[in-house]
Amino acid sequence: MKPRVFNHVNNISRLRELRKEEWHAGLRVGFVPTMGALHEGHITLIRQAVKENNNVVVSIYVNPTQFGVNEDLSSYPKTLESDLEQIRRICLECLKDSSVGQVTTVFTPTTDAMYPNLKPTSEIEGHGSFVTITPLASMLEGASRPVFFRGVATVCMKLFNIVQPDNVYFGQKDVQQTYVIRRMVEDFHLNTQVHVVPTVRESNGLAMSSRNVYLGERRLAVATVFIRSLQEAEQAFKRGKHRRLDLLDAFNKVFVSEQEKQRALPKSRRAMFDVDYISLADPRDLTELDQVRPEIGAIMSGAFKMMPIEDPQDGEKTGLGGDKTTVRLIDNLRLNPISPSGVQHSNVLSDLD
């Protein structure tokens, strides 16, 4: 019989006791690692996990080692009570559906528990026990955020060792992260299966992110520029454009046009933004491409920054913090393979899952 409520655990020993009971009972366990501030993207991962496992563990832990020295660790949204309430609602859904499993444990460890010896550091040359996955972790996001994937791989290795899941679930929005985690699982022979779930988007197309809470209505409306630019490149690919130059031109057609449009507006109405990086990569290993092979396709990804609102207006709906900080967002789109007959395969996860 499914439990009506989950175990809220912050002690590693207690989690291992629960996991041992599940192992002896022959139960299949899924795991969804999160940093909290749950949104519909996280909920989709949890719902996928309960479909495919008897029991599901969700972790909520803001990991300090994946934030750079000058990044937004202290201001990262922390909404534990709201997160727990959302998970309770999923538990009630599961009780009504005999075909799915249940969220049985929410794990909220402390940093002292996760890093029991040296204090965690975000210094590039800092001391500690880290997992590094190169060259994957030094490309793209890793070039902009040099300690990010070291922190992600390290905390995921710790969590996987603690939870010992049969299956783990990640979102496609963080596409490079999925490659880093899969490489780590393969290279260290971890006994878990990595599942990648399609990106969940806001009604306007913006990829859901915990950082979206920092965007007020003005920046939210303009932030769709990145996915619209990616979609323009996707259409160019479908029309037979395979050169990097042509695909980036298609991207910039939308991106630069929107930049010029915003610059022309008065400060009281505009929302400025800039690109951090844009990548056109081989879906097999994320190496950059000059020419896309249509039978293989590509992953187009990148990061962009929504700049602070310059002249907020009285009564304007602003984001958390009043739209006063730069918000860095990421997104990606798969240019799906096209067969020799001209048919485009629609399974965006075909090379990831």
327 close to 303: Cβ distance less than 8 angstroms = no
> 207: which DSSP letter?
B
3-state secondary structure at position 245: helix
Q: How far apart are CA 181 and CA 149, in angstroms?
A: 9
Strand order in the sheet with 327-335: 273-281, 298-306, 327-335
- 327-335 and 298-306 strand pairing: antiparallel
CA dihedral 308, 310, 314, 319 (to 10 degrees): -10
Q: Which of 24, 42, 189, 345 is catalytic?
A: 42
Structure tokens at 294: 């249509």
Q: How far apart are CA 237 and CA 160, in angstroms?
A: 38
| 42 catalytic residue (yes or no) | yes
Q: How far apart are CA 120 and CA 63, in angstroms?
A: 9
252 close to 260: Cβ distance less than 8 angstroms = no
Amino acid at 158: K
3-state secondary structure at position 226: helix
Known catalytic residues are: 42
